[in-house]
Structure 1
Amino acid sequence: MNIHWNDCKKILCIRLDNMGDLLMSTPAFRALKESFQCHLTLLTSAAAAPVTADIPEIDQVIVFNAPWVKHDHVATPETYQQLVETLRKEHFDAAIIFTVYSQNPLPTAMLAFEAGIPLRLAYCRENPYQLLTHWIPDEEPLHTVHHQVERDINLVAFTGAKVMSTKLSLQTHETHWPAIIKKMRLYGADHLKPWIVIHPMVQDAKRQYNFYKWVEIGKQIIAHHQCQLLITGNTGEEADAEALKEAIGEGAINLAGTLSVAEFALLIRKSPLVISVNTGTIHIAAATATPVIVLYALTNLQHTPWRVRSEVLYFDVPPSLQSKNVLLQYAYQQIPKHQLKKATVENVLKAVNKLLQPV
């Protein structure tokens, strides 16, 4: 079956990792939609799926927790075979596999091959032979490193897709605001008074910032800016957020586990500033044009906030938690650590002062 990219009207985009990774792929999705006027189906993980309803470029979502991607779900050969059959019945014209440079695309390419999808595109380090019909040799991180947004845009550009805008795509809805106000009041916040959001928790231990430094940052912000400090987090992080709230004291409010993804995105959009570790929150901030300070563990440095007012402050990862992936080890060794602005309490407070100033 001979088919060209210009003829593709039903494209499967595969992004199997996390919410932040998915948001960074949205400019590439938009380029496909605008260039080919296609129906776009996303194959993604349960972790990323909650944000998909507010990404307008996505027409359909299929959720699969792949055994070759880090998550807490148990995959089985049976669920894999069921997915192959589901994809086969959809009769996609093409599959485009979006990856971080440290990920191997070949398991996903095999999935698309078994599903009979005629065009299959991805970056790949080794020769994929028949698993990919269109192969871009992956030069990252050995020869170059691109921001993830640029990496994904360059991937779809291989199809001939034209990029008109590189803005991250995420819609927010004012209809959620009354529910957010109700929850803020329930937990002791006043939506009529100034606030700053901090998002201190993260599931990946190597990205955790020092608890006692968070406490000092929180106390100083409340004292110097006479504002509320809204502590946000995912379901399951309520206890850690409560401990931080108690340690910071008056002015800190624990909202962890209380907001849906759509509510959280709207709260971020309405906030003057967000302070977070490097997780999906910083990409929601970028998508909603909210100034953001990132306390950034020295991991994937190509995932900084995309084209939004921001300050990125870095802290190192303990040797015991550093990745065993040789590509990430190589990238880590290339980082000019002495040139990076450190995530000290003082630097965070300076960044707060800077980003709260009007443009």
Structure 2
Amino acid sequence: MKTLSLLPQPRAAHARIAAQAPLAPWGSEIRRVLCVRTDNLGDVLMTTPALHALRDACPGRHLTLLTSGAGAALAPFLTDVDDVIRYDAPWVGARTPRSHPADLAMRTLLEEGQFDAAVIFTVYSQNPMPAATMCYLAGVRRRLARCRENPYALLNDWVRETEPEHGVQHEVQRQLSLVQAIGANADDTRMRMQLRGIDRQTLETILARRGIDPELPYALIHPGASAESRRYPVERFAEAAAKLVRSTGMNMLITGSASEAPLAHALIDAAGPAVRPFMHDLTDAFELGAFAALIERAAVVISNNSGPVHIASALRAPVVDLYALTNPQHAPWQTPHRVLFNDVECRWCYRSVCPEQHHACLRGIPSVEVANAALDLIEETSRNRPTCRTRPVHHPIETHTE
């Protein structure tokens, strides 16, 4: 079991690649930019440093984000984005049955936007050509993306795709290096999510209604993930939570969507009756803003590698990331963290269900290591985060050896 910030690289990481001629910088003539990121909320958050670089490179530049429904939920919190267009693109994931008129309507909408340029942000397993075709047909004059094959007229600014054969970058670095190719350099590479006063006020109201004192420190535990292969066993979460309660007397707030409520119930039941007064089921309790405010105030966030990890990174909250080795690029970014995983030969499978059926990259992490990582982070960050101070336990809690 390892606790590393730098994840192991694919084996072919050091192969040589052919040089590519530099691209011409985008100047003040590029005023209206369409930024295409049709993935999930966490992917959009990991693109925010690149969005900031694009905007900062040209004062007055207008950015429109074309993104999925999940990504569009971030619209109120993205200060570098002027407009958001929701588009559940047919080339991203498994979608419900659809027909082409919606896509033709989107092409028309983009044409009406009169964009000077488009930047298409992808992970290396995605092909940028469908989005490039959409932008080409919408009359967007300059189109930038990474691409493996020659895109000919579809992309007039492009960077050769070299991942994963020649090493991989963190997702934030990948998107920053793409916009750097056209002269958008970043001095500040932090992820960004700007909360509002109403988000913090709503959080306090919800906690008070649940009988949770918002002034007391708490740990947040998020046991769900969209892919089964990225879920740490719920009974291990429960063991780690019980150890944290015995060590700190903190409240443990269990979060998730409505569909993840059974995970929260199972976690609380498995933690045992002695610590149950400290366990609080908050599944389906928050809109995005209040949920992010909950993460912002947490003494520590313990989560599978999912959206809460990236929200924590954007808000500089300490996070313990249970990192399934399905994808090497999505670790926490510029926030206090511990990345826990068990190295396996089948790493970087990119599968939603473990193809080996052993889940060893997660099941190999002892729960005591999760609890210890959380305790280390609480100690490391408590001086600068007064809400992280622990409190004494006021009633007996059974102790046992892990």
User: Could you tell me how far apart the structure 2 residues matched to 1:317 and 1:98 are?
Assistant: 29
Q: Is the 8 A contact 1:174 1:266 kept in 2?
A: no
Shift of 1:252: 0.8
Q: How much is the aligned-residue C-alpha RMSD, in angstroms?
A: 2.5
Q: Which amino acid aligns with 2:49?
A: P
CA offsets 1:115-174 (integer angstroms, 9 cap, x no match): 111111100111111111111111111012111111101100111112121011111123
Q: What runs of 5+ residues in structure 2 fail to find an aligned partner?
A: 1-23, 382-402
Q: Is the 8 A contact 1:13 1:97 kept in 2?
A: yes
User: Could you tell me how far apart the structure 1 residues matched to 2:302 and 2:236 are?
Assistant: 13
Q: Return the structure number with greater helix share.
A: 1
Partner of 2:280: 253
Q: Which amino acid aligns with 2:325?
A: L
The alignment of Structure 1 onto Structure 2 pairs a total of residues equal to: 346
CA offsets 1:3-59 (integer angstroms, 9 cap, x no match): 972110000000010111111111111111111221000000001111121010000
The percentage of counterpart residues that share the same residue type is 37
Shift of 1:211: 1.5
User: Could you tell me how far apart the structure 2 residues matched to 1:247 and 1:188 are?
Assistant: 22
Partner of 1:283: 310
User: Could you tell me how far apart the structure 2 residues matched to 1:344 and 1:75 are?
Assistant: 44
Deviates further, 230-239 or 250-259: 230-239
Q: Is the 8 A contact 1:285 1:292 kept in 2?
A: yes
Shift of 1:317: 8.9
Q: Is the 8 A contact 1:295 1:315 kept in 2?
A: no
Shift of 1:255: 0.9
User: Could you tell me how far apart the structure 2 residues matched to 1:318 and 1:175 are?
Assistant: 47
Q: Which runs of 4+ in 1 moved over 6 A?
A: 316-319
Q: Which has the larger radius of gyration?
A: 2
CA offsets 1:253-291 (integer angstroms, 9 cap, x no match): 111111111111111111111000001111111111111
1:112 counterpart SS class: helix
User: Could you tell me how far apart the structure 2 residues matched to 1:75 and 1:314 are?
Assistant: 39
1:138-287 map, 5 Å: 138-248=161-271, 249-287=276-314
Partner of 2:26: 5
CA 1:60–1:235: 2 relative to 1, 3 Å: farther
User: Could you tell me how far apart the structure 2 residues matched to 1:91 and 1:190 are?
Assistant: 51
Partner of 1:307: 334
1:344 to 362, 366, 380: 366
Q: Is the 8 A contact 2:327 2:350 kept in 1?
A: no
Q: Is the 8 A contact 2:252 2:279 kept in 1?
A: yes
User: Could you tell me how far apart the structure 1 residues matched to 2:25 and 2:333 are?
Assistant: 32
User: Could you tell me how far apart the structure 1 residues matched to 2:166 and 2:98 are?
Assistant: 35
Larger RCO (alpha carbons 8 Å, 6+ apart): 2
Q: Is the 8 A contact 2:233 2:363 kept in 1?
A: no
User: Could you tell me how far apart the structure 1 residues matched to 2:247 and 2:94 are?
Assistant: 40
2:84 counterpart SS class: strand
Q: What runs of 5+ residues in structure 1 fail to find an aligned partner?
A: 330-336
Q: What is the TM-score normalised by the length of structure 2?
A: 0.81
Q: Is the 8 A contact 1:313 1:342 kept in 2?
A: no
Shift of 1:75: 3.7
User: Could you tell me how far apart the structure 2 residues matched to 1:18 and 1:153 are?
Assistant: 18
Partner of 1:295: 322
Q: What is the TM-score normalised by the length of structure 1?
A: 0.90
Q: Which amino acid aligns with 1:40?
A: L
Partner of 1:59: 82
Q: Which amino acid aligns with 1:352?
A: A
